[in-house]
Chain A
Amino acid sequence: MQHKDEAGLALHRRLLEGDPIAPSEVAEQFLLPLKDYLRRKYPQTEPEMWLDAATMALLNYVKQPDSYKPEGKSLFNFLKMAAEGDLKNDLARHKRRTSRIVSLNHVALANLAGNINVEEEFITRQDVTSRLQGLKRYQAKTSQSITEDEPDRRLLELMQAKVRATAEYAKVLGIEHLPLQKQREEVKRNKDRLSLRLKRWEEKSRLQGQDHEP
Chain B
Amino acid sequence: MSHKQDQKNRASELEAALGFAADKAARDKFFMSSALNSFVQGEKKNKAELAEYLEIGVEQLSRLALCRRPYSNEVATFRRDTTAIANRFEIKPATLANLLRRAETYEFNQNSVPSGYLMAARDYEDAPEGEQEGKEKEPPNDA
Contacts and interface: CB of A to CB of B under 8 A. Distances in A.
Chain B: number of interface residues, binned into ranges: 20 to 34
B42 to A, nearest CB: 22
A31 B65 CA distance: 15
Interface in B83-97: 84-85, 88
A195 interface: no
A126 B24 CA distance: 32
Given A55-B21, A63-B30, A28 B13 contact: no
Contacts of A58: 21
Interface stretch (B66-74, B110-118, B124-132): B66-74
Nearest to B30: A63
Contacts of B66: 23-24, 27-28
A27 B85 contact: no
B85 A51 contact: no
B31 to A, nearest CB: 7
Contacts of A172: none
Interface in B1-56: 10, 13-14, 17-18, 20-21, 24-25, 28, 30-32
B81 interface: yes
Interface string A19-37: 1111110011001100100
A173 interface: no
B84 to A, nearest CB: 6
Contact of A21 (B21, B30, B85): B85
B85 to A, nearest CB: 5
Contacts of A175: none
Nearest to A24: B66
Contact of B18 (A19, A22, A31, A63): A31
Given A58-B21, A59-B25, A28 B84 contact: no
B18 A28 contact: yes
Given A28-B63, A51-B20, A55-B20, A20 B81 contact: yes
Contacts of B31: 23, 59
A92 B21 CA distance: 22
B64 interface: yes
Interface string A127-155: 00000000000000000000000000000
Contacts of B13: 32
A24 B64 contact: yes
Interface of B: 10, 13-14, 17-18, 20-21, 24-25, 28, 30-32, 63-70, 81, 84-85, 88
The 8 A-B residue pairs with the shortest CB-CB distance, nearest first, are A24-B66, A20-B68, A20-B81, A55-B21, A24-B67, A27-B66, A24-B63, A31-B17
Interface of A: 18-24, 27-28, 31-32, 35, 51, 54-56, 58-59, 62-63
Given A20-B84, A51-B20, A59-B24, 6 more contacts: A21-B67, A21-B84, A23-B31, A28-B66, A55-B24, A62-B68
